[in-house]
Amino acid sequence: MNSIDEEVMRRIRNDLIDSYDEELEMELEDQTVAQLTGEEPINSSSQDKERRRQYFRELFRLQGELVKLQDWVIATGHKVVILFEGRDAAGKGGVIKRITQRLNPRVCRVAALPAPSDRERSQWYFQRYVAHLPAAGEMVLFDRSWYNRAGVERVMGFCSDAQYEEFFRTVPEFEKMLVRSGVQIIKYWFSISDDEQNLRFLGRIHDPLKQWKLSPMDLESRRRWEEYTRAKEVMLERTHIPEAPWWVVQADDKKKARLNCIHHLLQQMPYQETEHPPVVLPERIRHDDYVRQPVSQDIVVPEVY
């Protein structure tokens, strides 16, 4: 194995370690940072350990602020739409998970629409997205959005030139209309380099738990890197409006991208901590004549672990 191959494998290994960190974040919800990072399953340097500790500390702090933001959204009846766009493997899903991880899904929900059906293709283009817009006191995170038309549909030939141009004529007015109705729109583009996307695709190929993320469309997007770049540049130029500007997140470093995006998101709303009455757990009502009935062992899940 030459030095280039060794470097690629080292980076793939580090990417897999990052994915294990993601699982720790999602699974060990109530662990302290010390518990979470005190025992390393890998041979990490003290500098690496300290960086991870700092990352987790800041992530948990920002997630605490997101809870305050959620309370403020509920209390004020604010309506928020957040669009997450970017290349395949750019890290959109990772930051969405970190934003929603500790929030109420009834307040902060994710809209990740599949490919349109034949019926939906016959509708007004924005129609199926409108159904997912927030009511008062709600935040909706679009994991890809109506900007599919400016990106994948354009590059892969899923829309005509006329449909493409009509999109650009319509989308500024559509977003302005939403803003006038009281919906705040925040648009993020996650930017990664050619080399970094290649690395992440290789990581998915080598990780059996992530191979499902590699669709034929993802692989084709890799081949058409330059076409996607041109489409992105046109999209940003033609849809960056004062009412709903684009914000670009530098995402080659996934952990920094998550922290930077969440920090920026918190700056976009004038939220403040909402006071709540103290929570008092009521005494359980007990009845002397109540006897709990035994559960039949036939329906109990076997305790294998």
Mean pLDDT for the stretch of residues 206-222: 84
Closest CA to 269 of 82, 59, 58, 60: 82
Q: Sorting pLDDT into bands at 50, 70 and 90, what band is 26?
A: low
Mean pLDDT for the stretch of residues 279-291: 93
Q: Sorting pLDDT into bands at 50, 70 and 90, what band is 1?
A: low
How high is the pLDDT of residue 217? 83
Burial of 285 (0-12, 13-18, 19+ CB in 10 A): exposed
How high is the pLDDT of residue 32? 47
pLDDT exceeds 80 at position 39: no
**More confident position, 182 or 41:** 182
pLDDT exceeds 80 at position 60: yes
How high is the pLDDT of residue 207? 81
pLDDT exceeds 90 at position 218: no
User: Tokens 């007004």 — which residue?
Assistant: 124
Are 91 and 258 in contact by the 8 Å Cβ rule? The answer is yes
Are 109 and 140 in contact by the 8 Å Cβ rule? The answer is yes
**55 Cα distance to chain centroid:** 17
Q: What is the dihedral of CA 264, 265, 267, 269, to 10 degrees?
A: 170
Q: Sorting pLDDT into bands at 50, 70 and 90, what band is 20?
A: low
Q: Dump pLDDT digits (tens) for 78-128.
A: 999 999 999 999 999 999 999 999 999 999 999 999 999 999 999 999 999
Tally the C-alpha atoms within 13 A of residue 21's C-alpha that lie toward its C-beta.
23
pLDDT exceeds 80 at position 153: yes
Mean pLDDT for the stretch of residues 28-47: 53
Pairing of strands 138-143, 183-191: unpaired
Burial of 195 (0-12, 13-18, 19+ CB in 10 A): exposed
As a whole-number percent, the residues of the chain with pLDDT over 70 amount to 91
User: Which segment, 34-38, 52-56, 59-63, is predicted with the most confidence on average?
Assistant: 59-63
Mean pLDDT for the stretch of residues 56-75: 96
CA distance 283 to 291: 19
The DSSP H or E segment spanning 63 is helix 46-76
- Bridge-partner residues for 191, per DSSP? 250
Global confidence as pTM:
0.85
Burial of 274 (0-12, 13-18, 19+ CB in 10 A): middle
Least confident range from 19-23, 79-83, 264-268: namely: 19-23
How high is the pLDDT of residue 31? 45
pLDDT exceeds 70 at position 50: yes
Least confident range from 6-15, 132-141, 277-286: namely: 6-15
